[in-house]
Amino acid sequence: MLLERQNEVSTVAGALRRARTGAGSLLVVSGPIGIGKTQLLRSLPDLVGEGTTVLRASGSLLERHFAFGVVRQLLDPVLASASDVERERWLGATSGRAESVIVGEGDCANVTPAAVAAVLRDLETLVTAISADRSLLVLVDDLHWVDLPSLRWLAYVAKRLNGLPVTIVGAVREGDPLAGQALLRELATSAARVLRPRPLSPVGTAELVLEQFGEHGDDEFVLACHEICDGNPMFLMSVLVTMVFERRRPIAAEAEFARTTRPAKLRERLTSYLTAQPEPVRDYLTAMAALGENADPELVAALAGLDRVGGVDAARIAGTLGLFAAGPEPTFAHPVVREAIGESLSTVEREKLHMRAAELLHARGRAAEQVAAHLLVVTARQESWGTEVLRTAAQTALQRGAPEVAARYLQRALIDHPADDAHRAALLVDLAMAERVLDPAAAVRHVSQAVPLLPSVWDRAAALVRLAPSVLDSAPLPIGELMRSVADEVGDPDELTGPRRDLALRLEARLRHSSFHAPEGLISAAQRLEQLGPRPPLDTGAERELAAVLLFAAAVRTTGTAAALAASATRILECEPATISHVHTALPLLSVTLAGADATKPLGSWLDSAYEQARLRGSTVSLAWIRAEQSVVRLRAGDLTEARSLAKAALELAELEWGEAVSLAVMVLSLVALETEDLELAEWLLVEVEGQNGDGWFGFHRETVRHMLLGARAMAGADFSLAVDHFLSLGRCLDQAGWTNAALHAWRSWAAEAYRRTGELDRARELIEAEHALAVSWGAPAAAGRTTRMRGVLRSGAEGIRIAREAVRVLESSEDRLELAKALVDLGAKLREAGESGAPGYLTRGRELANDCGATRLAERAWDELSSVTADPGSAPAQRARPAALTKTERLVAELAAEGRTNKDIADELGVGGRAVEKHLTNIYRKLCVRGRSGLVAALRSGLPG
C-alpha cells in the first residue's frame, strides 16, 4: 500500500496521458534515503493500460563501470519479447550500433566521442521506432549510480521527447556523492517536474501500523513510532516489521519498545551506506555521534578536523542525505543512525576518536563529566590530567545522586594509577563513598585497601568513618582490628578539638556499635552515656552520632528511663537535618530507641522527609533503610498492615541481601507474623533466615529472629509447648547478650501467652509479673500497659476487671493502638462475662481499632463477644455492631477478592498500587466484621450492606 503519495502518482498519471498524445516528458523523483522513492517507482506500472510497455532498470554502485549497462536493462527485455517482425522493423531503422550495444558486442567503454554520439543517435532512433508501436513508461531507479554512457543517453533522449509517447521517470538520492555530477544536473534541468515525496504524517503512520499489524494502533503507540522515525517510511517499516516478527502488538504498553528497538537490518543498511560517503561527511558524522547530538556544531567540526565552513557544508550534506531529523538543530533521524556510525568504525578508530574528543573538551574547559564520558571508552593508559578529570567527574556524579556513574569513573581512574601510594588511596576512598550505596561489601574492601596507603592517622580515620556502622558489623574481622588500631592512634576524643575530635567520636561510635552483641559492650556504652550527663552534647554531627549509639545501648540495657532517653533522642532529631545520608551513620538506631520508649511520633515526619529525598535521588540503599525504619514506626503505632507493607518494601529494595536494614525489616515482619499468627509469613521468613550465616552482631540478630519465628510458627500451629521452648530460648539468648528491655523483646509475654493456652497459669503469671516489673521500671506506656493487660488476662473476677481497666488507662497514653485494642477487647470480654454494663462500648471500640491495625483475629474475637452481648435491637451498641456500608470502590475490591483475585491482580485491574488495595481490604474487613477473604464470600452471598 502506497501511503500519502497521491500528488506524485497523479503527476505521473498526467504525464502518461500527455505522452499518449505525443507529448513525452521526463520526471525526476528526488529525496533522502528511505523516503520511499523506490516504492513509488514500483507502483507506477499500475497506472498504465493496454498499449503501454514498461521498461525498468536500476543503477548499481558496483556496476557503474559497465558501459551502457542500464540501457541494456531497459531495452534488452523488450527486444527479446518482441516478435521477429517487430524486432526486424525496429532494428532496421538503426545503423546497427544500437543492437551492438544491447547484445554487448565490442568494448563500449573505449570508443571515440564521435562513435559515442553515433551510438546515442542510434539508440534514440530505436526508442522512437519502438514507441511508434506502443507508448513507453521508462523507470530508472538510483540514477546517481547509473553508468556514465547510459546516463549520457538518458540526458540525450530527455531533450528529444517532444513528439514521442515516452514518459521517463527516474529516482535520485539527494546528498549522495554522485548525485551532484554534471549529467544528473543536466537531467534535472530537462525534467518537466522534480518530485520530492514528504515524510509520512501521523495519519500515514497510523495507516502503516494498521497494514503491518492488522489492527489499529493506540494513539500513544502511533505517536511514539512517528516521533522516533520522523516520518521516514524506511525507518518506520524496519521498526514495525521487527515488532511483528517478535509478536508484539500496537498498544500503548509497547510504545517504549517502539522507541528503543534498533532493527539490525536497518543498521546494516545504514552502515553500508555511510562507508560510501565522502571523508569530510563521514568525519563530521562520527564526531557528532561521539560528542552527542546536542553538541556545539563548531566543536563537532573541530573534532572532525574541519574548519567552520567545512563543518557547515558537511552538516548540510548529511541533512540532505536524510540522516538528520527535521528541525533547526542537527539530530539523527533515528537512534540506529548513531549505532550504524559506531559500527562503521574499528575499535582503534573509536578509541582515537574518543581520546581526541576528551582532549578537545578538556582544552576548552568543558565540564568534567563531559570529558570523563569519553575517557571511559579509552582503554589506553591516560595522563595524570585524565585521572583528575575522572575523580572530579565522580564527585559531581555523587552530588547529583548518581553513585553508579561515579563508581565507573573511579574504577577507570584506578586502572591508570596502579602505584600503591596516597593518590591511589584517595581514589579508593572516593570509590568506597560511591559503592556504599551500591555494594557495601566492596566499599569495606576498598577502604581496607586504602587505609595502609594513607600517610597520616587523620587521613586513615577520615577514610574509616566514611563507612556506615551497619556495614562494619557484618564486615570481615580485619576491618574491625584496623579501626581499633586507628582509634588507638587517634586517642581520647575528650582530649581533642575541632575536626580531629569529630573523627575520634565517629570512630568511637562505630567501635561501640560493633560490640552490642556482648554485655560488656553495652555496659561500657551505658557508662559512657552517664559520663556525658543528663543532656549529652549534640552540637556537631559526630556528637549526635555517638549519642545515638549510646542511647541505643542504654535502651536495650534498660539503663535510665524511657522518658529521659526519648527526650535525648528527640533532641537529636531536632538538631539533625533529615537527609538520606543519615543511613550511613548510626542514626537509624534512633528508630529502635524511640520505639522501645513508645515515642516514635517525632520520627515519622523526619523519615518522610528523608524518604522523599531518597526517592528523588533514586538511592536504593537509602530507600531500603528508610522503609525499614518507617516499618518500625508503624509497628509501634500498632498498624500491622502498614508495617508489613513497608518492611516487605525494604526487603524488595535490598533484594534480600542480608544486612542491618534487612535485619530490621525481618524483625518487624517476625513481630507481625507473631501478632497475626501468620504461618505462611513465618515459614517464608524462616527460609530466608536459615540461609544466612554470620558472627558477632550479625549472628546475634539472626539467632534472635530465628527463635522468634520458630515460636511464631509453633503458635500458629497450636503447638504451644514448642512455642514456650523457643520463646524461653530467645530469652536466654537476649539475657546472655545483656538485652534486658522488655519493651523491645517481649519474650516473657509471648511465653506467658503460650503457657496460658496450655493451662499452666502459674508459670504464665510468674513470667508476666517479672516482665511487668521491668516494664514499669522502664516507664514506656506501651510496655507497661501490655504487661498490665496480660496480668489482667491471667486473673479472673473483680481483680481481673480492675487490672484490665488499669491496662486501658495506661495504654490510652500510648502510641500503640494495637495494644490499646487488645486491652479494650479484654476488658469488654471480662465485663460481658461478669454481666456488667459497658461491655459493648469497649468491644466496639476495640474491634474498630483492631480493624484499623489489620488485626483481623482480634477484630473477629471482638465481634464474637459483641454477638453474645444481650442488648435491645435499637440500642446504640447494637447499631454500631452492624456491618457498615461499603463505598463503590470497596464493593468492587470486595467482589474481586472474593473471586480469588490476588492483590496484584486487583491493583492491575483498577490501576492502583498494591498498598491501596491492602488499605481497601482492611477497611472492608473492618466494616463487614469479617475475617479475611473467606468471610467476604459469605458476606457477598448474604448481600453486602449499601
pLDDT > 70: percent of the chain:
93
For the chain, what are the domain ranges?
A: 6-79+130-195, 200-260, 515-815, 883-946
Provide the pLDDT for residue 931: 59
275-318 per-position pLDDT tens digit: 888 899 999 999 999 988 778 888 999 999 999 899 889 888 88
765-787 per-position pLDDT tens digit: 999 999 999 999 999 999 999 99
Q: Which three cell numbers stand for residue 327?
A: 528541525
pLDDT at residue 946 tops 50: no
pLDDT > 90: percent of the chain:
53
Count of other CB atoms within 10 angstroms of residue 142: 22
357-390 per-position pLDDT tens digit: 999 999 999 999 999 999 998 888 878 899 999 9
HEC profile for 126-145? HHHHHHHHCEEEEEEECHHH
Phi-psi region of 59 (alpha: psi -120 to 50; beta: other; left: phi over 0): beta
CA 681 to chain centre: 28
Q: Which three cell numbers stand for residue 86?
A: 517487430
Phi and psi angles of residue 172, each rounded to the nearest 5 degrees, phi first: -135, 140
pLDDT at residue 354 tops 80: yes
Helix (H, G, I), strand (E, B) or coil at 421: coil
Distance CA 729, CA 791 (A): 22
Radius of gyration of the chain (CA): 41
Specify the range with the lowest mean pLDDT, choosing from 105-114, 129-138, 190-199, 218-227: 105-114
- Side chain identity, residue 246: E
HEC profile for 434-486? HHCCCCHHHHHHHHHHHHHHCCCHHHHHHHHCCCCHHHHHCCCHHHHHHHHHH
Provide the pLDDT for residue 318: 86
**CATH match of 515-815 with 3.40.50.720:** no
Q: Please, what's the b/e burial string for 818-846 (b: 16 or more CB within 10 A of its CB; e: otherwise)? A: bbbbbbbbbbbbbbbeeeeeebbbbbbbb
Mean pLDDT over each residue of the chain, to the nearest integer: 87
CATH for 883-946? 1.10.10.10
Cell 568525519 appears where? 283
Q: Which CATH number fits domain 6-79+130-195: 3.30.830.10, 2.60.40.10, 3.40.50.11540, 3.40.50.300?
A: 3.40.50.300
Contact 780, 597 (CB under 8 A): yes
- Give CA angle at 97 (94, 102), nearest 5°: 105
812-850 per-position pLDDT tens digit: 999 999 999 999 999 999 999 888 888 999 999 999 999
Provide the pLDDT for residue 500: 94
Provide the pLDDT for residue 872: 41
pLDDT at residue 550 tops 60: yes
- Side chain identity, residue 549: V
- Residue 636 — very low, low, confident or very high, per pLDDT cuts 50/70/90? very high
Provide the pLDDT for residue 110: 52
Query: Higher confidence at residue 128 or residue 622?
Result: 128
Provide the pLDDT for residue 884: 60
